[in-house]
Amino acid sequence: MEIIISITLCLTTLLALLLLKSILKRTTTTKLNLPPSPWRLPVIGNLHQLSLNTHRSLRSLSLQYGPLMLLHFGRTPVLIVSSADVAHDILKTYDVICANRPKTKVIDKILKGGRDVAFAPYGEYWRQIKSISIQNLLSNKMVRSYEKIREEEIKLMIEKMEKASCSSPPSPDMFLAGTATTLSFLAWAMTELMRHPKAMKKLQEEIRSSSPQDLFVTEKEAEKMNYLQAVIKEALRLRPPAPLLVPRVLSEDVTLKGYNIPAGTQVIINAWAIQRDTTTWGIDAEEFRPERHLDSNLDFQGQDFKFIPFGSGKRICPGIGFTSALIGVTLANILKRFNWRMDVEPQRVQHDLTEATGLVIFRKFPLIATPSPA
């Protein structure tokens, strides 16, 4: 009998302590000045409010709750950043505190606990593999050393296009969805140029007049073409291949815009929303207009937080130099050698802009375009 009483007292005490802990935790939480949040459901949190195109649904929520809002993906608190000034605080003021990556079962299984540059935890291992990657692969010197290889691959692609364009009738040279941000960029850039024939004509005139001697446009020539660089910037602004930057996680408590953000909170920066913000880009922020970059020193190297397609701070994409070199010379050459036509009925144009689902955003329906010799 005494044993039963003792067990009962122990269980009662334990339950009381757990209840007290829960009450104290709720009391402490309510004292925090947290960012605004949409209502959420038990267990799943705010997951039911997300669509397949997460960057779009997050932007819609941010228009209601502000550029800094707190969501819950299941039990995990996630801070959503949708404005340039808040991104500045995260990526510069609190860069070191917010330089870590969240741990997930997917990363553990696929990337062996995050052993790559993108998802490795912030620390000595990440610093070493980043240094090795840059020194042996991604430095400006190394990127330049691969120029001939890129040139050979682009020429092979052009040869295939020439064979297709000489067919009778001409065969359509599909820009298919692949697995790289470069392919995503090229598909969307060509999409926007074909939707805006004046911009296409202006760009082709610049390319053909700036590089008239040889059939092949070199990387150095492409770098000096002002309108080409403006088109690249505008395509990256309007159609960033990875609209949600790789998530971060706070290693310490921070105060952000007057709100208390506890350690362990994940942070997602919606670059897609930031780069379409009408308060910084104007009322035509949704329009493809390369001219907006011609009289601007703005670039995408991560120093201006209203334009961050590759991120910023310590965890900026280390392949930014490699990608920049490749997309410019590729776009220049396919536009110099060919004129392009898209056989799509007017009513299907908007339908063909539908986005696929994924970390890297491709067209849901492949861009089918017909080349003809220039």
- CA quadruple 114, 116, 117, 120: dihedral, nearest 10: 20
pLDDT band at 172, cuts 50/70/90? low
| Of the candidates 293, 356, 323, 341, the residue with the CA atom closest to the CA atom of residue 165 | 341
Query: Interior CA angle at 88 toward 127 and 72, to 5°?
Result: 85
d(CA 169, CA 16): 81
| Range in 109-118, 242-251, 312-321, 358-367 the model is least confident about | 109-118
In the predicted structure, residue 83 carries a pLDDT above the cut 90: yes
d(CA 290, CA 119): 33
CB count in 10 Å sphere of residue 263: 11
- The predicted model gives 168-193 an average pLDDT of 73
* pTM, 2 dp: 0.86
Tell me if the bond preceding 240 is cis, omega within 30° of 0: no
Angle between helical axes of 147-165 and 320-337 (0-180°, round to 10):
30
In the predicted structure, residue 71 carries a pLDDT above the cut 70: yes
Each residue's pLDDT tens digit, 254-277? 999 999 999 999 999 999 999 999
- Report residue 9 as tokens: 């007292």
Amino acid of residue 243? P
pLDDT band at 348, cuts 50/70/90? low
Whether the CB-CB separation of 354 and 182 falls below 8 Å is answered with no
The mean predicted confidence, pLDDT, of the chain is 86
Beta strands in the chain (DSSP E): 68-73, 76-81, 248-249, 254-256, 259-261, 266-269, 338-341, 370-373
The rounded Cα 245 to chain-centroid distance in angstroms is 5
Whether the CB-CB separation of 276 and 82 falls below 8 Å is answered with no
Each residue's pLDDT tens digit, 212-271? 777 899 999 999 999 999 999 999 999 999 999 999 999 999 999 999 999 999 999 999
